[in-house]
Amino acid sequence: MIRFCLDCHTEIRGRADKKFCDDQCRNNYNNKRKSVDGEFVRKINQVLNKNRKLLREESNNGKTSVKRDSLVKKGFDFDYHTHHHLSDTGKVYIFCYEFGYTLAGDDEIMLMKKE
């Protein structure tokens, strides 16, 4: 049975389970495959990391409140977060990793760090 390299499509010689003619073709194939989905995920992770960084800087590792507009001006994107938590009192806390926030009033946001 004749086998062909998954990247460059040249004939492969050697082991029966060999898929690539050399390491360069293996790397090229895997890099192409990962780059398609990877770009989308990379963009989302950039937004999440920026949100986390802003929450960390503003909260000073403790509970504090800030104006919503000040976060927006610094580039915070309220559409992206990692998870949310519903407290026993019914408040919804929205998190970017370990840093979170909840609405505290008119344009006020209470920041916190999950321990």
Among 72, 78, 77, 69, smallest CA distance to 102 is for: 78
pLDDT at position 61: 60
pLDDT at position 37: 72
pLDDT at position 5: 95
pLDDT one-digit tens code per residue, 43-63:
999 999 999 999 999 987 667
Does pTM surpass 0.85? no
- Give the number of domains in the chain: 1
pLDDT at position 77: 96
Low-confidence ranges of the chain (pLDDT < 70): 61-62
Structural domain that includes position 65: 3-113
Task: Quote the Cα angle for 30-49-89, to 5°.
Answer: 125
pLDDT at position 99: 93
